[in-house]
């Protein structure tokens, strides 16, 4: 019973952490603090070793938008911190591999990746493991790429 309660607590905490706000200029509009997406070449820890990016695929991005709404939007907002960080600008400052590994392997990333640990320290809630497939994670990445390519 204790194991079930502990697991439930972790899942809820991860769910609550994975939401956030932010904006394109790297500043939190309300607080004037720097956004957490510092530039890094870190690929992260998980099943994704290499992502080859091609031209934006609007159909894939649309699928990613729906997956994001279903699984991520309870905690993450595009331009605002919430329970977790805002996702705007993430593709400019994180590798595609890191993004997909964080989506697919949040537990491993938060336990073993320094950049993920920084997010955990700031938001004090772990990202929920939604058991995303590689295809779902890739579609979310494409949605983020589309959002980050749009003009303000």
Residue with token string 């159909």: 59
Least confident among 28-32, 80-84, 98-102, 109-113: 28-32
SS3 track for 18-85: CCCECCCCCECCCCCCECCCCCCCCCCCCCCCCCCCCCCCHHHHHHHHHHHHHHCCCCCCCCECCCCC
The residues that bridge with 27 in the sheet, in sequence order, are 34
Greater confidence (115 vs 62) lies with 62
Residue 95 has a CB neighbour count (10 Å cut-off) of 17
Q: Average the pLDDT over 79-90 and give the result.
A: 91
pLDDT band at residue 38 under the 50/70/90 scheme: low
Q: Which domains does the chain have, with CATH numbers?
A: 2-149 (1.10.760.10)
pLDDT at 125: 82
Tokens matching residue 2: 């204790």
Residue with token string 């706000």: 21
The residues that bridge with 24 in the sheet, in sequence order, are none
Rounded Cα distance, 19 and 82, in Å = 5
pLDDT at 64: 98
Q: What is the largest CA-CA distance in the chain?
A: 51
Q: Average the pLDDT over 38-42 and give the result.
A: 74
Give the pLDDT confidence of 86-135 residue by residue, as tens digits: 999 999 989 999 999 999 999 999 999 998 998 888 888 889 999 999 99
């Amino acid at each position: 019973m204790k194991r079930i309660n502990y697991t439930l607590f972790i899942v809820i905490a991860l769910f609550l952490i994975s939401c956030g706000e932010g904006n394109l200029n790297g500043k939190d509009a309300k607080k004037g603090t720097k956004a957490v997406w510092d530039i890094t070449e870190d690929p992260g820890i998980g099943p994704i070793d290499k992502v080859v990016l091609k031209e934006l695929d609007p159909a894939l991005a649309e699928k990613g938008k729906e997956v994001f709404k279903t699984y991520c939007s309870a905690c993450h907002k595009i331009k605002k911190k919430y329970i977790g960080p805002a996702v705007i600008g993430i593709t400019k400052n994180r590798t595609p591999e890191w993004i997909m590994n964080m989506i697919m392997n949040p537990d491993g990333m938060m336990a073993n990746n320094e950049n993920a640990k920084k997010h955990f320290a700031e938001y004090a809630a772990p990202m929920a493991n939604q058991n995303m497939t590689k295809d779902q994670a890739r579609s979310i990445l494409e949605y983020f790429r589309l959002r980050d390519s749009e003009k303000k």
